Amino acid sequence: MKMEITQAKINSSKLFQWLFHLVLWTIWIGLPIVNAGENIRARTYMIWLIPVALTNIPLFLLNTEWLIPKVLRSRGVSAYLLSLILLIGAFALIQFSIKEWFIPAEIRFHKNPVFWVIVPPSFVTAISTGYGFIIYLIRHEKAQQEQQKERLKSELSFLRSQISPHFIFNILNSIVYLIRSNAAQAESVTIKLSELIRHMLYTSEKEQIPLEKEIGYLENYISLQKIRFEEDVEINFEVEGNAGNHFIEPMILIPFVENAFKHGVGLLDDAIIEVLVNIEGGHFSFFVRNKIAPETSEEKDFSSGIGLKNVKRRLELLYPFTHKLAINQEENWFIVHLELKLPPEGKRRTKDELTIHPHETSMYSR
């Protein structure tokens, strides 16, 4: 689909250029003949001028395809203007020579042949300069967009590559703890962990996965943490609504939950972690909050961790203008609230379909 869209854009661009040249040169050559009307001498002269008129085509192309993109870009305005004057002079000389050598004197129409040799190439040059600048700016902007897209894709790949080691580090700590503290459950827990790692390995590189599968991944992760902390931490996980056939970026939710378990347990006697998922049509709401110790809440910015910085940037890249992220600290609570506008059911939105500009961030994020 991507190749078809790109090919269609290329074909439409080429079609526009071909049509422009066809219309321009049809008018340029045909209009003087039509305007001659019943004047046989004028019409005959205009027909003899067709070879002269055709020499304006290479003049046009040399200006648009060489002088503007090459000379102007690499050597500046002064070199371009000098080259343009020399080009006009050269083609004026060519056209004057054709008129003098090939057109019979008895049918020549203009009394001032030098003037009428200078005016046409100058006029063609003016048209080609305007056209050439437009084409150059369009190509330049397209090239910049392609370069920016490649940079963003490279950055996104780097951000996604950071998920695996960060996640595995946390999971390995859980494995060690569970094996030492509750050997009877080690086998079932290891199976759950293998399912989580399998999900991470085989879905983190996909562009979109079913929302239901991502929610199931969260559920497995949270159930594992419930086994690990038992009664020491109150863990509440709730899903409202139906995931339907919606798709979501993989591993976009787990960093918020990981952060809650990282900072919401340990020094607290009444540790509480709450995770709420709400789906209403194409609107997805994700709410995570955890208690933090009063003595540590002023010492560290919990929103500055690698995982949260990573996911913030991924949201900017993958959901520009379609997400709202609020991260707040209220008294002894750390609260994350994420809202996403999901693509229509059954539609996978790929990174190649994004139009991202480097200066733009989500109008909803704060």
Summarize the confidence of residues 56-68 as an average pLDDT. 91
Residue 166's SS3 state is: helix
Of 39-48, 94-103, 212-221, highest mean pLDDT:
212-221
How far apart are the C-alpha atoms of 91 and 21, rounded to whole Å? 19
Q: What is the DSSP letter of 232?
A: S
Q: What six digits make up the tokens of 202?
A: 């085989």
Domain range summary for the chain, segments of one domain joined by +: 2-150, 162-353
Whole-number CA gyration radius for the chain: 34
Please state whether beta strands 333-341 and 283-291 pair in parallel, antiparallel, or not at all (unpaired).
antiparallel
Q: Tell me: the pLDDT tens digits for 73-118?
A: 778 889 999 999 999 999 999 988 888 888 777 776 655 666 777 8
Q: Is the pLDDT of residue 1 over 50?
A: no
DSSP letter string, 103-136: S-GGG---S-HHHHHHHHHHHHHHHHHHHHHHHH
Number of H helices, E strands in the chain: 13, 7
Q: What is the DSSP letter of 241?
A: S
Give me the percent of the chain exceeding a pLDDT of 90.
23
Residue 234's SS3 state is: strand
Of 221-230, 267-276, 305-314, 331-340, highest mean pLDDT:
331-340
- pTM score: 0.56
Q: Is the pLDDT of residue 122 over 80?
A: yes
Please state whether beta strands 271-280 and 233-240 pair in parallel, antiparallel, or not at all (unpaired).
parallel
Q: Is the pLDDT of residue 317 over 90?
A: no
Amino acid type, 17: Q
Residue 293's SS3 state is: coil
Q: Which of 1-15, 65-79, 260-274, 334-348 has the lowest mean pLDDT?
A: 1-15
Summarize the confidence of residues 27-36 as an average pLDDT. 85
Note the residue count of the chain.
366
Q: Is the pLDDT of residue 363 over 60?
A: no
Q: Which residues lie below 8 Å from residue 14, measured CB to CB, with a gap of 6+? A: none
Q: What six digits make up the tokens of 33?
A: 């003949």
CATH architecture of 162-353: 2-Layer Sandwich (3.30)
Residue 128: burial class (beta carbons within 10 Å; 0-12, 13-18, 19+): buried
